């Protein structure tokens, strides 16, 4: 696991550096064509552009505020509205961009968390499926992830068999089956599943599982033992 921690820390560092140097453009940012720094500066500067004294100085110097305010306001109302809208656009673009950057960092961190999980919950963890990061895995991590998913599938298939057994046993009295007949009915429903499980186990035995913790190795062996027990019972 130390080796995994080292590589994932390195991967996370690279990802963070990449985000810092090349921020992800949002829809709004793409529209304005501005990066985060430019947007921040515009938000700071834009309110200054509608300073009353600046607008007064830029208007006709011959009129007096008290007498000509209505005319001045009408003349500059459109400009003020445009500046206000421009400021809001810059703000919304910045917020959208920062949200995307934050999501990217969280998704990158989720890979680090996933591969450093030493409990059996690793096999049922669907985080990388939900955030789409499983599609971005490469090399050894992609193979490790496949192994984890195969162990989870093995468990799910064995649970299906247990459900079938319970359902058939609940029908035994009603159907008036003997124990031998019951086992035959169960076998008919589980044989295809058992065939798939056997293939998966043979594949798993050939795959690298050195990254499993002791607890995870124990869990994996328990699944193998369950399969052997079921096979022995119905064959």
Q: 34, 41 in Cβ contact below 8 A?
A: no
Q: What confidence category does residue 204 fall into, taking pLDDT thresholds of 50, 70 and 90?
A: very high
Q: Tokens 């400021």 correspond to what residue?
A: 87
d(CA 119, CA 100): 31
Q: 93, 29 in Cβ contact below 8 A?
A: yes
* pLDDT of amino acid 27: 41
CA distances to 58, 71, 72, 137, 196 from 63, rounded to whole Å, are 12, 10, 9, 69, 90
Which of 121, 117, 112, 116 has its CA nearest to residue 219? 121
Return the ∠ at Cα 124 (arms to 161 and 159), rounded to 5°.
10
* pLDDT of amino acid 209: 96
* pLDDT of amino acid 77: 66
Q: What confidence category does residue 202 fall into, taking pLDDT thresholds of 50, 70 and 90?
A: very high
pLDDT of 18 > 60? The answer is no
Predicted confidence (pLDDT) per residue in 99-156, tens digit: 888 888 888 888 889 999 999 999 999 999 999 999 999 999 999 999 999 999 999 9
* pLDDT of amino acid 180: 93
Whole-structure pTM value: 0.64
* pLDDT of amino acid 117: 95
Tokens matching residue 225: 């033992």
Q: 154, 201 in Cβ contact below 8 A?
A: yes
């Amino acid at each position: 696991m130390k080796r995994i921690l080292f590589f994932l820390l390195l991967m996370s560092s690279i990802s963070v550096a990449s985000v810092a140097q090349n921020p992800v453009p949002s829809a709004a940012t793409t529209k304005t064509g501005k990066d985060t720094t430019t947007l921040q500066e515009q938000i700071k500067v834009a309110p200054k552009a509608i300073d009353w004294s600046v607008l007064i100085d830029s208007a006709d110097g011959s009129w007096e505020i008290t007498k000509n305010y209505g005319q001045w306001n009408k003349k500059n109302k459109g400009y003020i509205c445009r500046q206000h809208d421009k400021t809001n656009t810059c703000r919304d673009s910045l917020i959208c961009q920062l949200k995307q950057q934050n999501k990217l960092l969280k998704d990158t961190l989720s890979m680090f968390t996933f591969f450093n999980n030493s409990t059996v919950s690793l096999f049922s963890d669907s985080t990388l499926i939900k955030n789409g990061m499983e599609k971005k895995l490469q090399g050894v991590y992609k193979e490790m992830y496949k192994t984890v998913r195969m162990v989870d599938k093995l468990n799910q298939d064995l649970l299906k068999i247990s459900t079938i057994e319970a359902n058939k046993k609940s029908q035994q009295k009603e159907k008036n089956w003997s124990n031998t007949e019951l086992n035959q009915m169960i076998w008919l429903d589980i044989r295809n599943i058992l065939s798939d499980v056997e293939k998966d186990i043979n594949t798993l035995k050939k795959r690298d599982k050195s990254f499993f913790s002791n607890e995870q190795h124990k869990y994996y062996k328990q699944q193998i033992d369950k399969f052997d027990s079921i096979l022995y019972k119905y064959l």
